[in-house]
Structure 1
Amino acid sequence: MTNNTNGFSTDIRVNGEKLVCVTRIAQTTAALAKLKTIWNDRNVALSSHIKLMRSLVMSIFLYACESWTLTADTERRILAMEMRCVRKLLGITYRDHISNEEVRNRTRQAIGPNKDLLTTVKRRKLKWYGHVTRSSGLAKTILQGTVQGGRRRGRQNKRWEDNIPEWTGMTLGAAMRKAERREEWRELVARSSVAPQRSTG
């Protein structure tokens, strides 16, 4: 179950997972499988495959990704899903026993430097945070508002805003002040939202 405010889904945690993000990964994987005939057609140029992947598959995944709270587990899931997509593009299966790092190298050789999916998600979220911070609407009131009472004891669930200090290296208050200055925030977003080092599995 989700609630929508201005097109963004609120986060609901189920067994430690972000339901919206995990569901979107499943939907994207299903869309990828439905286009199997196209991916297997070597008569279709790689550039066309890339355009189709971005418009028909990745667009499903990225819808309203600004609303997600990313945990280490969901980040791993995003990286794994992206690798499945890249392997489809290049016609490489896991039976070929080619490492993920080699797949990335071949991707760079085939289509040049490419912004990975996790970085795209992070940049979209940081850009939206800056946009809301500079606005004066309901979204800003909700984002910066406080609720009376304290958080429960024990291990805390990660909150949406917890990602901001993680990715910027700043306190939330400092990030909020920086976001008020559009150009400075734009430069910070470009530096901060870099995907973590990935395994070569």
Structure 2
Amino acid sequence: MVGAYIDKVEKKKKKKNIQEKKHYFGHIARRLPSNIDKLKLVGKVEGKRPRCRSPRRWSDQVKSLTGLPITEAIKKAEDRTGWKAAIKIATKLLESGHNLQ
């Protein structure tokens, strides 16, 4: 009984986390091209990552959450209403167990 409740709470937290990442990406993607956050999003940093760091980059996470290449996701995010609709669809697909890549 308690295990089922914990699973339900964990699933809800994961869904909220995914939605927040997508909303934040949309917020950053709509900024000016000269904005430092947007430059970090589309830019590549040379060199290796320090030890104990995740090999996934923010752009890799966006690609796996949306199923779109980063440049296409940025273009979609510039249209606010279209981006919100895309977030809802992708979240439902992820909940049902689909892999968006």
Into which bin does the TM-score normalised by the smaller protein fall?
Answer: 0.5 to 0.7
Q: Which amino acid aligns with 1:125?
A: K
**How far apart, in 2, do the equivalents of 1:138 and 1:171 lie?**
20
Check conservation: 2:41, 2:58, Cα contact below 8 A.
Answer: no
Q: Which residue of 2 aligns with 1:128?
A: 24
Number of aligned residue pairs: give it.
87
Report runs of 4+ in structure 1 exceeding 6 Å deviation. Answer: none
Q: CA RMSD in A?
A: 3.0
- CA–CA distance in structure 2, aligned partners of residues 173 and 142 of structure 1: 13
1:174 to 72, 84, 98: 72
Distance 1:170 1:178 in 2: 10
**Which amino acid is 1:158 matched to?**
R
Secondary structure of the structure 2 residue equivalent to 1:185 = helix
Seq. identity, %: 25
Q: CA deviation at 1:190?
A: 1.0
For the pair 1:145 / 2:43, whether they are aligned, the reply is yes
Deviations 1:120-141 (A, max 9, x none): 1001000100100101232112
Gapped regions of structure 1 (runs ≥ 5)? 1-91, 95-99, 108-114
Task: Tell me the CA shift for residue 180 of structure 1.
Answer: 1.3
Aligned equivalent of 1:190: 88
Q: Distance in 2 between matches of 1:125 and 1:172?
A: 14
Q: 1:117 to 1:150 in 2, by over 3 A?
A: closer
Matched residue type, 1:119:
K
- For residues 59 and 85 of structure 2, what CA distance do their matches in structure 1 show? 19
Could you state the TM-score of these two structures normalised by the residue count of structure 1? 0.37
Larger CA Rg, structure 1 vs 2: 1
Separation in 2 of the partners of 1:185 and 1:122? Answer: 14
Q: Does 1:159 align with 2:57?
A: yes
Counterpart amino acid of 2:75? Answer: R
Question: Which consecutive residues of structure 2, in runs of 5 or more, have no partner in the other structure?
Answer: none
CA displacement 1:37-67 (0-9 Å, x = unmatched): xxxxxxxxxxxxxxxxxxxxxxxxxxxxxxx
CA distance in 1, matches of 2:56, 2:44: 16
Counterpart contact for 2:42–2:59, Cα < 8 Å? no
What is the distance in 2 between the residues matched to 1:148 and 1:117? 34
* Bigger relative CO (Cα 8 Å, ≥ 6 apart): 2
Please name the residue that 1:52 is paired with.
none
